Amino acid sequence: VEAIVESARQRLFPTGSERLAWVESAIAQREAARAAKNWTQADALRDALLGGGVELRDGREGTTWRPQLSASP
């Protein structure tokens, strides 16, 4: 499964692309909002990323992301 996710990530968000730059920027902004405990902004950024086809996963080592592989019901 991880190989499929990584393949999709490289295909949909190629290195150096504007789309990848947008994802990285939005995640950095979200991390700053979370650090400032600005939950409204953090949630809005998460929703914008999800709308752009990006799933976020928050864990002990920070936020990771992957392309959204399934459509929402």
Model confidence over 33-58: pLDDT tens digits? Answer: 999 999 999 999 999 999 999 999 99
Q: What integer pLDDT is reported at residue 7 of this predicted model?
A: 87
User: If you write DSSP's letter for every residue of 9-56 in order, what string do you get?
Assistant: HHHHS-TT-HHHHHHHHHHHHHHHHHHTT-HHHHHHHHHHHHHTTEEE
Mean pLDDT of the chain: 91
pTM: 0.83
Closest CA to 45 of 66, 67, 22, 68: 22
